[in-house]
Chain A
Amino acid sequence: MAYKIAVGSSDSVNVDLKFGEVESFLIYEVTDKVELVERRAATQKHSDSNVSCGSESCKPSSCGGNGGGCGGADGVIAKVSLIDDCRCVICKKIGFQAQKQFEKKAISVFDIEIPIDEALKKITSYYDKIDNHKSLRDGGL
């Protein structure tokens, strides 16, 4: 079964961005192969894509509204929703707020700093095993 993985990377080689720093997610699609299918911009989230809410209730920016700075709940929810068609997200760090929002949508979070290739290899091997009821022990991950 095909699924997508969102990655936070500045150079398309390493997972090197924190969730909050990501301006555009690399979206990989996993079928019988793994390929980069999309770069999904996160910066324009409120103006044109209206990803998470009706246009009326959305403020142009979640920053500064209540003096809470950037990254309040609304901002996080919007960014999480942007990639909620993915099975998991890989970033260097992912904050607690965002982790909880992903958890709510049953999207797995991997906060780790390694080359994208290696991360994808391990994660796809893991999903292959659990999807096909294979033991995690066989052949390592």
Chain B
Amino acid sequence: MAKLLDKQRYKCALGAMQSVQAITRALPILHSGPGCAQKLSESIGSSGYFSPNIFPCTSINEKDVVFGGVKKLNSTIENALKVVDADLYVVLTGCIPEIVGDDSGEVVSRFEDSDKPVIYAPTAGFKGNNYKGHEQVVDAIVEQYLKKSEKKQKGLVNIWADVPYQDLFWLGNLRELEKLVSELGLIPNTIFGYNRGIENINKIPEAEFNLLVSPWVGLNNMKKMERKLGIPYLHYKTLPIGATETGKFLREVGKFAGVDEQKVENVIKEHEDYYYYLIERYADLFLENRVINKQFTLVADAQYALGITKFLANDLGLVPAKQFVVDDTPKNRREEITAEFKNLNFGLEAEVSFETDGYKIHEEIKNHDYHGYPLILGGYYEKELTESLKGNFLNISYPVQDKVVLDDSYVGYTGGIRLIEDIYTVAVQRFN
């Protein structure tokens, strides 16, 4: 029997249209029913030059189910090329055409000789969620567009992180990662967001290595690029937030890239001096509020669940209760991610549960003894729950309805400070 999923925290693979949209001047062409894009789009900063409401779509209906929709797909691509000025056209398929067996790949291959690149990513919902869909889009770019380059640019490194729009902080996070990497004397290359796009995609093959900052999303892309483009990769699992983790991050990236150790240490020292200056000034605030939140719980995708758990334990000395990873992490990645949760300072270990059912998560939180008010960082679904437990709540992961994020970031030294500000803003509001 079909299972219902309570409080789901991701979308179907076609949600990857947002990953395409995050590439400036890249246009998704949807081979799907007319409602898909509408359902998948949200008012979370997705308007602009292209927006979900104008994505070309085959709007397939019953007739196309019976007789096939390839003709419609062909004309939709043909006309999109004529009337929409984009740099890259990415055809995404929904469930229906894939179930009835439209050969979308064949249709797309007819456009190989067009002036602008047209590529195709199968993103039927039954193949997985939008984390997988995001990987499919990057895969499509690597497989169908990029070619191996003999020329390498010294110090050039492609940076990959979590899923745009699904992670509301995606833009700020990527920019902050770029900044950190460039301080090591390397040249960062990313493809998403303002002032990035096809030019940056073209540079991918010239990089010396790929840097993946994510527990699991994108790992398949790294392997594909290693095979096809001959680019080695560094898989850094923890999103670095705060001084402890960012220091580790810089050292590891520096080591991998062969950056002079002293140079790395100098960068770290300069940041840490300022970071701890800020912490020191507010030490009394942290001490006072310690009593109210002895334990914390994250309800987030693997990226934030792991990154913030490490930050709160290592930098703020809070004690983790159970952590919940809600992104339907592939089973074969769970073990190594669980191991990361055990790898905290002060001999602390966090218990982690890979759970997508919101009801079960809420039951576990309700039944746990937090030895006081809990601190819960999660999706909007946890707000009411936290209120009923008289705890402190911060909305950091999908769905985010409690916060407007333009280019804010929770990465690096500044990201750590931002997160501290946000958490303690919530804490002090309780008394004021």
Interface residues of A (CB under 8 A from B): 108-112, 114, 119, 122-123, 126, 135-137, 140-141
Contact = CB atoms under 8 A, between A and B. Distances in A.
A93 to B, nearest CB: 12
B101 A123 contact: no
Contacts of A123: 66
Contact of A110 (B63, B99, B100): B63
Interface size bucket, B side?
under 10
Nearest to B100: A136
A126 B65 contact: yes
A140 B63 contact: no
A141 B100 contact: yes
Contact of A122 (B66, B99, B101): B66
B66 A141 contact: yes
A111 B100 contact: no
A103 to B, nearest CB: 11
B14 to A, nearest CB: 18
A110 B65 CA distance: 11
A112 B63 contact: yes
B63 A111 contact: yes
Contacts of A126: 65-66
B425 to A, nearest CB: 51
Contacts of A119: 67
B150 interface: no
A136 B65 contact: yes
17 contacts: A108-B62, A109-B63, A110-B62, A110-B63, A111-B63, A112-B63, A119-B67, A122-B66, A126-B66, A136-B99, A136-B100, A137-B100, A140-B101, A141-B65, A141-B66, A141-B67, A141-B101
The secondary structure that dominates the B interface is helix
Query: Would you list the 5 A-B pairs with minimal beta carbon distance, nearest first?
Result: A126-B66, A110-B63, A137-B99, A122-B66, A136-B99
Contacts of A111: 63
Nearest to A118: B67
A40 B67 CA distance: 26
A140 B62 CA distance: 15
Contacts of B66: 110, 122-123, 126, 141
A34 to B, nearest CB: 15
Given A110-B66, A137-B100, 16 more contacts: A108-B62, A109-B63, A110-B62, A110-B63, A110-B67, A112-B63, A112-B67, A114-B67, A119-B67, A126-B65, A135-B99, A136-B65, A140-B101, A141-B66, A141-B100, A141-B101
Interface in B61-92: 62-63, 65-68
Contacts of B65: 126, 136, 141
A123 B67 CA distance: 8
Given A137-B101, A140-B101, A141-B100, A122 B67 contact: yes
Nearest to A124: B66
Q: Which of A111, A114, A137 has the most CB of B within 10 A?
A: A137
Interface in B321-376: none
B122 to A, nearest CB: 14
Nearest to B71: A112
Q: Which of A108, A111, A135 has the most CB of B within 10 A?
A: A108
B59 to A, nearest CB: 14
Nearest to B62: A108
A109 B62 CA distance: 8
Interface string B363-399: 0000000000000000000000000000000000000
A126 B96 CA distance: 13
Contacts of B62: 108, 110
Contacts of B67: 110, 112, 114, 119, 122, 141
A140 B99 CA distance: 9
A19 to B, nearest CB: 14
A126 B68 CA distance: 12
B71 to A, nearest CB: 10
Nearest to A122: B66
A109 to B, nearest CB: 7
A123 B62 CA distance: 10
Nearest to A108: B62
Interface string B15-47: 000000000000000000000000000000000
B250 to A, nearest CB: 50
Contacts of A137: 99-101
Nearest to A135: B99
A137 B101 CA distance: 7
A66 B99 CA distance: 48
